[in-house]
Amino acid sequence: MNLRWVIVLSIIAFLSFAWFYSLQASNDELTQLIKDKKSPEYIGHKMETTVFSLTGEKQYVANAKTVEYYDSEGYSIFEEPIVHLFDIKNKQFEQQNWKLSAKQAKLTKDNMLYLEGEVIAQNLVNNSKLQQITAEEATINLKNQDITSNTTVNIIGQNIVSTGSKLVGNLNQQIATLKEQVKTRYEISNK
């Protein structure tokens, strides 16, 4: 009878150990399924996003090679973004007036766009006084199209080229003010 109890208890111990081991193995698989807090909610490739105002007018269209959305932090990261802004001043919402590009961008939930790496703001309106702004970094408020930068900025306009640092302006109103170390070259054309 002792041998029988030893065998039964050995089988129960073996089954308990196997059951405990299987629980540990499934926990490892579950932890791989749980999203890390620092990882994005989703990742999209070759994305295009169109954002409309509350009244239904287009505000901007954003294209990117890759988009990572972080829901817990409330921002998106764009790789190689191209953003087209629409004319909100004159209520011409079908006319794109600016094309923004950079190596990377961060868009927050309060519509602030932080561009980094070879930032180019190209005016798409013919014969505009302010034609292009280039910088290494720039911040744009997409609600009112205010632009700021604390890096070296180049501004190209009609018959003028300016370089300086600390840019403040508004793309929709075509205003750009350089605050420090400004160098300007005028080109006078004889017509």
Instruction: Give the pLDDT confidence of 118-127 residue by residue, as tens digits.
Output: 999 999 988 8
Q: Which residue has the tokens 């400004």?
A: 182
Same domain, yes or no: 109 and 147: yes
Same domain, yes or no: 83 and 118: yes
pLDDT at 59: 84
Same domain, yes or no: 30 and 118: no
pLDDT at 191 over 70: no
pLDDT at 86: 85
Query: Which is higher by pLDDT, 22 or 150?
Result: 150
What is the DSSP secondary-structure string of 10-63?
HHHHHHHHHHHHHHHHHHHHHHHHSPPTTS-SEEEEEEEEEEE-TTS-EEEEEE
pLDDT at 28: 54
Lookup: tokens for 85: 């802004």
Q: How confident is the model at residue 105 (pLDDT cuts 50, 70, 90)?
A: very high
CA distance 9 to 24: 23
Same domain, yes or no: 73 and 159: yes
- Over residues 20-37, the mean pLDDT reads 64
Q: Where are the beta strands (DSSP E) in 53-145?
A: 58-70, 75-79, 82-87, 92-101, 104-108, 112-123, 130-141
Same domain, yes or no: 49 and 14: no
pLDDT at 148 over 90: yes
Taking only the tens place, the pLDDT of each residue in 175-186 is 888 888 888 888
pLDDT at 136 over 80: yes
* CB 100, CB 79: distance < 8 Å: no
pLDDT at 13: 84
Same domain, yes or no: 18 and 80: no
Nearest Cα to 117, choosing from 100, 105, 132?
Answer: 105
Write the CATH number for 135.
Answer: 2.60.450.10
- Over residues 44-62, the mean pLDDT reads 86
Give the domain extent around 2. 1-34
pLDDT at 108: 93
pTM over 0.85: no
